[in-house]
Each structure stands twice: as C-alpha cells, then as structure tokens.
Amino acid sequence: MLRSVYIISGPAGIGKSTTSRKLVEHLDRSSYISGDDISHLPVNGRGKPWICQETHKLTWTNILSLVKNLIEFNYDVVLDYVTFPSEANWLACELERMNVNVRVVYVVFMVDHETIIRRDQLRDPSIQMGERSVILLNEFREVLKDDRHILNTQEYSVDQLEEMIEEILNNNRFLIS
C-alpha cells in the first residue's frame, strides 16, 4: 500500500496542530511530526529556524530522516510545520531521490489578516506569535504562485474539522507527487 506524507502548513496560529492531530486519527497506521518540536531538539546554540540557516537546515534534515524511517516502516506521516513551497518540494524530491515510494500532500491553510490575529489571540498566551503570524501570512501570500495547495480555512470552525480532514484526504489538487 502506498503511504502518504501530509504536510499541513500555514502561518502560526492558523490551526495546523489542531487539524494535524485530528488527521492522524483518520489514518490506519499514522505518525505525527511537529516541526516545532524537531527544531527544538538542539538546546544550546540553537538559532531561530527562520533566521539561522544552520538551524533551518538541521531541522529539515531531521524531518527528512524521520519521514523516511516512518514511511519505510509502513506509516503515513502528518507533518505539522510552517512549510513553504520550496521546502515541501525539497522534501518530496529528496524522498524520491532516496527511492522512497510515497504520496506527498501539501496543504497550506490561509485566512485573512483579521482572522489570523483573532486566532492567535485565542491561543494560550505562552504560545501566541503576535506579529510573527501576520508576517508569515504575508510571506505565504508572496510565495504561493497558485492556489492549488491553499485551503482557505476562514469560514471553518473547530466543529468543522471533519470536513477539512475529508478535503485533505480526498482532494488530489494538494498532491506534490
């Protein structure tokens, strides 16, 4: 059976973790990778992955290794991380280069400016991102050349997670490979 890697992306505070945790429940053999947790593996000397190239490279190298291992042990993988198209394509290409036979599904959650601010403010104060959420929203708008991978979650509430999951699982437009 062909396994899948689901990359759930978008700005901070948009619902990636909530959706990713629910998505793994719909898969028969599943694993969950929090990119934030992977980026925090190095403790001392760690830079912010969006600023420090070394931390960024190490994070993605570790993610690649985990994804490869999990797929080879017959698990679907759900990756919850702020992932831009270049990173999603890199991951798909590296897996192909390593002869890992897998479907890569890349979904970017997007909303408007006001919604991202509101959703961030609903988070626990210790994990609120503030202006960083808006910066990421704008960065995604700049780099997404088409809307093929965008899932507009503006109108979705937590009560509609099942609908979002069905869209992710069944819509081939999100496929990279």
pLDDT per residue as tens digits for the range 5-43: 999 999 988 889 999 999 999 999 999 999 999 999 888
Q: What letter represents residue 147's amino acid? A: D
- The reported pLDDT for the residue numbered 177 is 61
Binned at pLDDT 50, 70 and 90, residue 151 comes out as very high
Query: In whole angstroms, how far apart are CA 4 and each of 27, 165, 176?
Result: 10, 14, 11
- Cα–Cα distances (Å) from 24 to 34, 86, 128, in that order, read 12, 24, 24
Q: Is 168 exposed, middle or buried (0-12, 13-18, 19+ CB in 10 A)?
A: buried
Tokens standing for residue 115 = 């919604």
Pair 40, 145: CB distance under 8 Å: no
Mean pLDDT on 146-167: 88
* Position 74 confidence tier, pLDDT thresholds 50, 70, 90: very high
CA dist 176 and 109 (Å) reads 16
pLDDT in the model for residue 122: 85
